[in-house]
A = this chain, B = another copy of it.
Amino acid sequence: MSEKYIKDKFLYEGKAKKLYTIKGSKDLLIQEFKDDATAFNALKKGTIENKGIINNEITAYIFNFLKKNGIKTHFVEKISDSEMVVKRLKIILIEVVVRNIAAGSLLKKTNFTEGKVLKDPIVEFYYKDDALGDPLINDSHALAMGIATESDMKTLKKMAEAINSLLKPFFKKRHLKLVDFKLEFGKDSKGKIMLGDEITPDTCRLWDDKTNEKLDKDRFRFDLGKVNESYVEVKKRICI
């Protein structure tokens, strides 16, 4: 671990990551990636070998790419195998999902069959609330609950679309189809909205562009085997 950042206090443990404060810094945190994996609103639990290390490396690579392309993110730098320094954000309690190809829960609210390529991306907002099971919401729910302003919602949608426009060709070049992915955003100390969390096979559906083989957390969700191997393969293709 870099000498610049000295881990101070444990702050928060999520399903796949832990957060720590940094000695002498108010605006930065250490984000540590775990091997723990959960699915179906944490009804299914397990671990994926080396996931923490792999996802830290993938997130660092992708967030660097996004930063270079003008997307504001919380990423500062990777400081160890499973840790990165990030800006401290006040998380907006909305998960933004972008879909390019029909899969997962979309099949339950449309008549699309899995694999249907969407003419235009679908952007969805989910209310981050485990007790409610992260329900789909729309702008007017978010406003009514006071979890985001109208301008925040517009920014989330715009940024999600911009990130999708950058990531689709990024993955295509790496022989992966970006089927769908989940983003989380937060506000820094000045109220500026930026991308937080991670972008990994935990939060994206990624299919091999020739065989449509699933190379993401669906292998864990549905016991498809070769879970760790798929994460390794994705890392290899991404971090070139």
Contacts and interface: CB of A to CB of B under 8 A. Distances in A.
Contacts of A145: 110-112
Interface size class of chain A, counting residues whose CB lies under 8 Å from the partner chain:
20 to 34
A102 to B, nearest CB: 9
Interface stretch (A12-20, A123-131, A212-220): A123-131
Contacts of A125: 138
A121 B109 contact: no
Interface in A148-165: none
A123 B140 CA distance: 6
Contacts of A135: 108-109
B123 A109 contact: no
A119 interface: yes
B120 A144 contact: yes
A138 B119 CA distance: 16
Given A124-B138, A138-B124, A138-B138, A129 B144 contact: no
B140 A110 contact: no
A121 B138 CA distance: 12
Nearest to A124: B138
A157 to B, nearest CB: 9
Contact of A144 (B110, B132, B137, B140): B110
A18 to B, nearest CB: 26
A136 interface: yes
A143 interface: yes
Contacts of A237: none
A135 B118 CA distance: 19
Interface of A: 108-112, 118-125, 127, 129, 132, 135-138, 140-141, 143-145
6 contacts: A109-B127, A109-B135, A110-B127, A111-B132, A120-B144, A123-B138
Given A109-B137, A118-B144, 20 more contacts: A109-B127, A109-B136, A110-B127, A110-B132, A110-B137, A110-B144, A110-B145, A111-B132, A111-B145, A112-B144, A120-B140, A120-B143, A120-B144, A121-B140, A122-B144, A123-B138, A124-B138, A124-B141, A136-B136, A138-B138
